[in-house]
Structure 1
Amino acid sequence: MSKPQPKETLLDLIKAGDTERLGDFFYTSAAKARGTVKVRPVDIGWEDYTLTPDKFEPADTDPADMDEAMRWAVIVDDIPECEADTKAQMYVDRETGDMIIAALSGPAHDHDVAIRMVARDLKAEQANAPSRKVLRETARIADNQNNQKIGKFTITRFRDLGKAKPKPVVVKGVRYADEISYMVAKPGGGKSVLETDICYHIASGRDWHGHKVEQGLVVYFAAERKALQDRRVMAYRKHYGDERKDVPLVVIGGTPNLTDDKRQDAQEMVKIIRALEVEYGLPCRCITIDTLARTFGGRDQNLGQDMMKYVHNVDLLKETFPSAHTSVIHHEGWETGRAKGGIDFDGAVDASFRITKTGDTFKLACDGANDGVEGDILCFTMKSVELGLDEDGEPITAPVIIPAADVVGDLVKATETKQAKAEADAWDILLELSAGGHAVGGGMWLAKFRETEPEANERTMQSRWHRAVKALEKTGRVASSGSPKVYTLVEMQG
């Protein structure tokens, strides 16, 4: 009987120069210890006291060579039984192959506990560990800003700002990662059908009616009419002839209480999503909660304190899955034209959307955005898709979204008319302010432009002005210079 071969050690991998398997080891260790994989800068040593977690760089690929592999580390900043600012930096010693804790930050009384907890987690089973693709995606989103975390606080210094980076796209121009939005409509207004449409396109990797999408896992929490929601997804599968088995769109029934102070149901939702990320090997891109009313735990939506408890629970999903957009389906009041309940939720979301209906045509518009363009997005109708027959031979159906081409054309024409008016107004205002050729500051020009439609949304007017200025510059009618910019009529120059 042959003797069992000795288990391969990290030192064996180092001696063999096996950087790929060393990379696997680091990602496995990070998953066990709930940490992230980072790379130490070349010019800072492990013993250098200036080596703090914010100095590390992201690890996007396997180590290029053994020298780089020896600069890889696992940063753990969520250590059980320790205070929030307790962190550990771990690396592999090149001479011994041992996993070394390079530094511990945080209160000294936590250090012994931190060492025990990290050692315990590294020995844990990895059956439910996220894939390397998921871990890398989470790290990419987290590194989108140059931030330093201290406990619950995130610090960005002026010197670390660098160049502005685009927001990570989920549906370009509509939904972005690490943000929360809500969509409202009156009962029967098509909000759940449209949400299904968006979710299917994200999960299947199809552009959403002209908007680029970033494909990934979509988790739809159907707190009401789960069977109907299943049929809606079936309708999309049939409508697009999509016979793939691995489209990462998952519908989950149940009525979680998202006003619970302890966030117990929200934590269960986190566990479910994490397990699905492992199952599909993809980062979560969209989390849908349908509806706010059915997940409000019987509390009063009109009370600010209850609404803030809801926000606190939804924030857990957003913070745990920074690669995802969290969408809440909400009801609109019959007479108000806005979301039901306290205004606190409006202040907590990054964008809000509203569906209105005229006859058989629906229109989706963004009516509030902290960092985006407001206005009309999509006009659509619905088509009924037959899924089968019931026991009486009657068809079983569910709707899908169909863009309303004619209405879209009218919408484009209306938009073009508004923009033409904006350009004319901007030109007339600059002509007046320049008083024969003087340069005009952008702030003064914009302020006068806003006066042309005092009832319009401020961000909408600012967006129209920016587009008008670009158009006038592109056609050579206006020139800009300096910082901050000043503008001059080209005909008046010289």
Structure 2
Amino acid sequence: MTYQEGSREEYEAHLASISDAEWKRRTQDAVWFSKDPPRLGPDPPLTFHKNFTAIQPKRYVVGDFLAEGEVSCFFGEPGATKGTIAVDIACHVAAGLPWMGRTAGGHLDPWERKALGKESMPAGVLYIALERSTQVQRRVEAFTDEHGIQEPLDLAIWSGPLDLVGSERDDILSAVYAHERAQEEDEEGEGSYREVRLVVIDTLARAFGSGSDSGGEETAAVARKFERVLRFRPDLHILVVHHTPIGDDSRLRGHGNLLAAFDQTVRVRKHKVGSTATVMKDNDTAEEGKARFAYALKSRVIHVAKDGKETTAPVVVPLPAEAVKHAMPKVSVKAAGPKASKSEQPLLDALEGLGGSATEADWRVAFDAARQDGLSPSAHRKRWSVGRPALEAKGLVQKDSEGRYRVTVTNVTE
């Protein structure tokens, strides 16, 4: 109660009713006597360190990459093959087959792995194809043909609509439970029921209803929807496919709330030879431990019409990471100005290969991708840690107001 809420007599009576213990607690901080004292509610539930439960190891849908209870975002320009790699991951999880040398599918405890002789089991997958769902179907068929899979995958496609902004319903959870009920009730699939472990949303831009991915309120609403799904189903991983701004594939398109909503972001790029999927953000992985995957696409015939016309779909073929590198022109500084040392020149080459301007994270990825053969990892890291500030000190590289680095005085030679 404040003086403004009643008469002076009522206010004085209120003060007189406060116990000595309460007065002592309140007078510990002078803020109580300000014009706007804090409006405290009930004490929130706190978990003290001494009461922490034993830390449980993370459980993965794709080993050491996509974890249960997390959200990842695969982003890239149109044609970057981000949709193709998302389907490939989904199919590997549904089939229980290793993906890029990592286990994929439902988690097995150590005793289960020993008893079954397997590292993982097939898991249910919900693929929310908000655009070109028939294309996703063709890619799934191409995958099963390529890998000689005879039994149907526990993978269901839902073409929406899905509105993560305007709808108050938990539509993702509804679809997950519908998937699991259908499998449970399928007499032909008796004994093969598996819970859903992976949800793919392709693409996120189609899930904003009448809103936009550039709006702060809309993107915050999407983040809350993801949190709500994982609160009820912490055994799921949500994989989102999203776009980049036109002409800039170094970052996600949209409001900054999106980046905060993802535990992991993966940039997908198409190169002259093959494609790469590079982890840009990972909340639990150090910079040097972030993964980079390389792959090519192979066209697979999935149907031949009576007139001989073929229907094809792409399948992913893994490549060694070093097989796909950024094409980087050589850079040399003008003779009149300061020069880069031999160990600093690869950093300039990497930045120029990105168009002469990039974020520090993108610059580092390009530099790592072009690591000199025979150079030890520690020596390579030292080149970066010493070379980057040295180039800035020489004025060969500058950092602008947006935090992007750019090459200053250079001559580009092919």
> Which residue pairs with 2:231 in the alignment?
319
* Alignment-derived partner of residue 105 in structure 2: 214
Give the match's secondary structure for 2:194: coil
Q: Which position in structure 2 is the counterpart of 1:269?
A: 175
Kindly indicate whether the alpha-carbon contact (under 8 Å) linking 1:171 and 1:213 is maintained by their aligned counterparts in 2: yes
Q: Which has the higher contact order (CA 8 A, sep 6+)?
A: 2
CA deviations on 1:378-437 (whole Å, 9 max, x unpaired) are 1111001101124643100110001124844879995686972525876x9xxxxxxxxx
State how 1:430-449 maps to structure 2 within 5 Å: none
> Which residue in 1 is equivalent to 2:376?
420
1:201-244 CA distance string (max 9 Å, x none): 11111111111223311111111111111110000010011001
2:197 matches 1:285: yes
TM-score by length of 1: 0.52
Q: Aligned partners of 2:196 and 2:372: how far apart in 1? A: 37
**Deviations for 1:352-378, whole angstroms, at most 9, x for unmatched residues?**
001111124101100111112554421
Quickly say closer, same or farther: Cα 1:261–1:250, change in 2 above 3 A: closer
Q: Secondary structure at the match of 1:312?
A: helix
Q: How many Å apart are 1:185 and its aligned residue? A: 1.3
The answer to whether structure 1 residue 257 and structure 2 residue 170 are counterparts is no
Residue 367 of structure 1 aligns to a residue whose secondary structure is: strand
Aligned in 2, Cα 1:205/1:266: closer, same or farther, shift over 3 Å? closer
Which residue is 1:166 aligned to?
57
Q: Deviations over 1:63-114 (max 9, x none)?
A: xxxxxxxxxxxxxxxxxxxxxxxxxxxxxxxxxxxxxxxxxxxxxxxxxxxx
- 1:183/1:328 contact within 8 Å kept: yes
Q: CA deviation at 1:321?
A: 1.8
Counterpart among 178, 181, 205 of residue 96 in structure 2: 205
1:175-207 Cα offsets, whole Å, 9 max, x none, are 000000110111111111101111111111111
Give the structure-2-normalised TM-score: 0.61
Secondary structure of the structure 1 residue equivalent to 2:280 = strand
SS at match of 2:151: coil
Q: Tell me the CA shift for residue 154 of structure 1.
A: 7.6
Taking only the aligned residue pairs, the percentage that are identical comes to 25
Distance change >3 Å, CA 425–CA 386, structure 1 → 2: closer
Residue 131 (structure 1) aligns with: none
Question: How many residue pairs were aligned?
Answer: 282
Q: How does 1:10-409 map to 2 (within 5 A)?
A: 156-161=47-52, 163-215=54-106, 216-245=123-152, 247-276=153-182, 278=184, 281-337=193-249, 338-373=251-286, 375-390=290-305, 392-405=307-320, 407-408=322-323
Pick closer, same or farther for the CA change 1:406–1:301 going to 2, 3 Å: closer
- In structure 1, the residue corresponding to 2:269 is in which secondary structure? strand
Matches of 2:386 and 2:55, distance apart in 1: 31
3-state SS of paired residue (1:353)? strand
- Indicate how the Cα distance of structure 1 residues 388 and 176 shifts in structure 2: closer, same or farther if over 3 A, else same: same
Range with greater deviation from structure 2 (286-295 or 375-384)? 375-384
The unaligned stretches of length 5 or more in structure 1 are: 1-152, 429-448, 456-494
Deviations 1:108-129 (A, max 9, x none): xxxxxxxxxxxxxxxxxxxxxx
Offset from partner CA, 1:305-331 (integer Å, 9 cap, x none): 011112222323222221111011111
C-alpha deviation, 1:343, in angstroms: 1.3
Question: 1:378, 1:408 within 8 Å by CA — same for their partners in 2?
Answer: no
What is the alpha-carbon distance in structure 1 between the residues aligned to residue 373 and residue 47 of structure 2?
Answer: 42
Output the amino acid matched with 2:294: C
Unaligned runs of 5+ in 2: 1-43, 107-122, 186-191, 327-367, 391-414
Q: Deviations over 1:428-452 (max 9, x none)?
A: 9xxxxxxxxxxxxxxxxxxxx9566
* Offset, 1:166: 2.0
**Conservation of the 8 A alpha-carbon contact between 2:215 and 2:254:** yes
| Deviation for aligned residue 1:160 | 3.2
Task: Assess if the C-alpha contact under 8 Å between 1:261 and 1:309 holds in 2.
Answer: no
Q: Determine helix, strand or coil for the equivalent of 2:103.
A: coil
Question: How far 1:284 moved relative to its partner?
Answer: 1.7
Question: Shift in Å at residue 347 of structure 1?
Answer: 0.5
Residues 174 and 421 of structure 1, relative CA distance in 2, 3 Å threshold: closer
